[in-house]
Amino acid sequence: MRDELGKIHLITGPGKGKTTAAFGLALRAVGHGLRVHVIQFMKTGETTGEVLAARKLEGIRVEQFGTGRFVNPREVSDGDKKAAADAMAVAKVVIEKGECELLILDEINPAVSFGLVSAGEVLRLLRDRSKGIEVVLTGRNAPIEFVEYADYVSIIESKKHPFDQGLEARKGIEW
């Protein structure tokens, strides 16, 4: 089955559900016996339902790299840059060692748009990987280079959301 793998998925856009879609693919992959590694950029803590659920499943590993605060693109800290560099270093090792068949780089797109990681560095990682590793890139503001390089491109839009009427994010639904 590994010979059939190796495509790049890009899930981007302003709507809700990019990480959720990636975790849905992770669940499908684990169900078919694939090993999944999720690397989350700019995220910490185990409060989201998808991370809590993933921790209970064999075959899926989730690692988070963030500072514990919201990253302001106008005030990127050295800690933000170090966390992103650490995440990229782990991604390189995972790819070099072939530790998974599905690698999810969650929130890599904003990490690039905020200047934490370069698009070129990510593209080198993708180009240098072995054929048997499928990779998912998520987050808003995907660089055009990722759009052009990806095999699958999904743009998540928001046509209507209860948040617009003042409803706060709900445990188990939005997080």
pLDDT, tens digit (0-9, with 9 covering 90-100), for 90-132: 999 999 999 999 999 999 999 999 999 999 999 999 999 988 9
Show the beta-strand stretches assigned E in 100-144. 102-106, 134-138
Higher pLDDT, 71 or 6: 6
**Beta partners for residue 103, in sequence order:** 37, 135
The confidence band for 169, taking pLDDT boundaries of 50, 70 and 90, is: confident
Q: Mutual orientation of helices 119-128 and 78-97 as an angle, nearest 10°?
A: 10
Question: Average model confidence (pLDDT) for the chain?
Answer: 93
Q: What's the angle, vertex CA 29, arms to CA 95 and CA 9, rounded to 5?
A: 60
Helix or strand (DSSP H, E) at 152:
strand 152-155
Classified by CATH at the fold level, domain 2-142 comes out as Rossmann fold (3.40.50)
What confidence category does residue 163 fall into, taking pLDDT thresholds of 50, 70 and 90?
Answer: confident
Q: What is the pTM of this model?
A: 0.93
Using CA atoms, how far apart are residues 47 and 52, in angstroms rounded to an integer?
7
* Helix/strand/coil for 62: strand
